[in-house]
Amino acid sequence: MIVPLPERFAEFRHVVVITGAGISAESGIPTFRGEGGLWRNYRAEDLATPSAFRKDPQLVWEWYEMRREICRQAEPNAAHQTLVEMERHFREIGSFLLVTQNVDGLHRRAGNENIVEIHGSIWRVRCTECGRECERLHLDTVPPHCSCGGVERPAVLWFGESYDSIVLETVRAALEKADVCLVIGSSGQVSLPVALAREARRSGAMVVEVNLERSEFSDVADFSFFDKAGSALPELWASWRKLIR
């Protein structure tokens, strides 16, 4: 059960949300390091690298096609829908930015618009020759090829690659003015989101965590709600709305 929220929530105008694999797990998408993390005796960490792709692009793309099919069959859940409602409200009175670690595209399918996908999208490809990037919902061949003839790779961030500096600048600019930073379904095993939450706290934002259990964010959070996002987030938002006049 969500505890009563402080009255100051009524004054919040600028919101940043960070989401991780936990929010998509409720839609049936296995977490990256969970029980679904093994495939053909490979670890996900061994397939999601530039070197693995150079060595065997066919194998990597077969793995990504399996993941894409899982994502294709999944549907946004109540937590995704609540974030759509929150975006509509806060974009009218201030600002809202959704920063997701997830590559499944469920936030966009739910209806969120102001999104930063810090790890890219499983539905986009990038040519390894000319660098052209585009959306490919369905592949004619595996691996796919660009019009220039180059092999295309998934346009996602792999192990050993760096975050886009422009993307990070956008996120940090939003965090500097944020009144509250919500962290939903992220364990904190990926270091960047934890660092972003700490930056938000240093900038004066309240940090609210919604997770199944304690995480790397718990020591940063002003409030922690340990429950499924699909039930906790709608309840939290309902309590929040009661404070808004």
Task: Name the residues annotated as catalytic.
Answer: 119
Other residues' Cβ atoms within 10 Å of the Cβ of residue 134: 13
Sign of dihedral through CA atoms 113, 65, 153, 190? positive
Q: Give the span between the Cα atoms of 14 and 94, in whole angstroms.
A: 5
19's tokens? 């989401």
Q: What phi and psi, each to the nearest 5 degrees, are found at residue 166?
A: -70, -40
Hunting for tokens 């996602």 — which residue is that? Answer: 156
Q: Give the span between the Cα atoms of 168 and 141, in whole angstroms.
A: 33
Helices of type H across 94-220 = 106-110, 165-177, 191-202
DSSP state string for 119-142: TEEEEEEEETTT--EEE-SS-SSS
Q: What is the DSSP letter of 190?
A: S
Q: What is the dihedral of CA 245, 243, 236, 173, to 10 degrees?
A: 70
Q: Give the span between the Cα atoms of 14 and 46, in whole angstroms.
A: 39
